[in-house]
């Protein structure tokens, strides 16, 4: 059965901390690894990763994929309260499979 | 403005009463998809469509129907809703494929089945 696992499921940090969110997958078909951020509304796109070892960056966020070990990480440096959200990891081939999400709370 | 719209945004209904949730996008996207989101389970894909008249099952298609007669519209049909279909539903679209292009999500429809 295809599955995407995220850890931790929930995380509370202080502003300025650096966090690492983990995503591992076990799927029959794979083309890309997706990261989305969900605040109190619809998910918004963060990253799409297709190649191993190539880091993608957007401001304080970065992500990397390891296709051999079947996992990805999302790093957020110097966290801010605006980073508080659910972070969703998923895999895509034609079908999309998401994990349960990591709920991040950043407190002042 | 480029967007994905869903209607209704909130719906309370009773078991067995057929309902349709509409989804429309104005970006000329080929790929459209429906997800449901439940606490602790993340987003689960119900159905997706690669193009007009082409639809495929996602992970949780039971109890749902879809159709793609026009490129812009992708309605979700619950022929006989049951309480376990109470959920938050999102429609999404992407230009070509979900694994090559960003998915844009609609605002969500909160459905309660009594």
At A1 the pLDDT is 87
pLDDT in tens, B10-55: 999 999 999 999 999 999 999 999 999 998 888 999 999 999 999 9
CB atoms within 10 A of CB B1: 3
Q: Which residues of A touch B43 (CB under 8 A)?
A: 43, 88, 90, 98, 101
Q: Which residues of A touch B97 (CB under 8 A)?
A: 92, 94
- Residue A31 near residue A92, CB atoms below 8 Å: yes
Q: Looking at the predicted structure, is the pLDDT value of residue A49 above 90?
A: yes
Q: What is the 3-state secondary structure (H, E, C) of chain B?
A: CCCEEEECCEEEECCCCCEEEEEEECCCCCEEEEEEEECCCEEEEEEEEEECCEEEECCCCCCCEECCCCCCECCEEECCCCHHHCEEEEEEEECCCCCCCCCEECCCEEEEEC
Q: How confident is the model at residue B97 (pLDDT cuts 50, 70, 90)?
A: confident
Question: A48 and B106 in contact by Cβ < 8 A?
Answer: no
pLDDT in tens, B52-92: 999 999 999 999 999 999 999 999 999 999 999 999 999 99
At B96 the pLDDT is 85
């Amino acid at each position: 059965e295809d599955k995407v696992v995220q850890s931790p499921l929930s995380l509370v940090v202080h502003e300025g901390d650096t966090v690492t969110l983990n995503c591992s997958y076990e799927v029959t078909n794979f083309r890309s690894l997706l990261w989305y951020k969900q605040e109190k509304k619809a998910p918004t796109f963060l990253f799409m990763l297709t190649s191993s070892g190539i880091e993608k960056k957007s401001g304080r966020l970065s992500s990397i994929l390891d296709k051999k070990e079947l996992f990805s990480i999302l790093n957020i440096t110097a966290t801010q309260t605006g980073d508080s959200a659910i972070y969703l990891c998923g895999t895509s081939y034609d079908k999309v499979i998401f994990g349960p999400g990591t709920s991040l709370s950043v407190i002042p | 403005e480029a967007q994905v719209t869903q209607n209704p945004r909130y719906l309370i209904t009773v078991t067995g009463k057929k309902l349709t949730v509409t989804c429309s996008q104005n970006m000329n996207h080929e790929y459209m998809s429906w997800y449901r989101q439940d606490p602790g389970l993340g987003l689960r894909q119900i159905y997706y469509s690669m193009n007009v008249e082409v639809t495929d099952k996602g992970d949780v298609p039971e109890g749902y129907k879809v159709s793609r007669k026009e490129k812009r519209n992708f309605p979700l049909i619950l022929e006989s809703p049951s309480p376990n279909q109470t959920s938050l539903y999102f429609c999404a679209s992407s230009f070509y494929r979900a694994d090559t292009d960003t998915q844009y999500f609609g605002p969500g429809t909160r459905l309660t089945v009594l």
